[in-house]
Structure 1
Amino acid sequence: MPRHRIHVQLDGLLSIHAVRAVRTALAAVPGVLGAEVSMQGAILDAEAPLDRDALDHALGYAGVRVLTLREERGTLPLL
């Protein structure tokens, strides 16, 4: 099954609390299978391209905004 890996650079990740808020917000975005969030940004695994409005809304609720978004399409191993 094709999977998508999305690299997101975020503005507003100033503390570990912001990182946790982003991780929680991303869990509510339809299609996000997993997320690695750090102070530098996030790497998302998704089952299909994400709805950008839903992503922006969730991240805005967490107090951050998207600076850049880069998507890779490929096959990810199932664990």
Structure 2
Amino acid sequence: MKLGSNLDFEILGFSDSRYESLTVEIQYKGEPIAQINQDQGVDCLEIEVFADLNSATLKVPFSGFLEAMIIAKSFIVE
């Protein structure tokens, strides 16, 4: 699902074999930037931020990332 307010962000729900429950990935311009899992329960969601410390810094718009996080959480809580 692409965000209407910022089409560079996309939210993808899927099952990752590393986790027991559904996970949600946030992509920016087609690159995965974060993944949310609910293995510790809906009240203890965990976010994994993907970072390659040997490459250039990835900068994303704060408002778009925040909106993506809120929508991604709603995918899990439903």
TM-score relative to the length of structure 1 = 0.34
* Relative contact order, higher structure (CA 8 A, sep 6+): 1
Structure ranking higher in strand proportion: 1
Larger radius of gyration: 2
TM-score relative to the length of structure 2 = 0.35
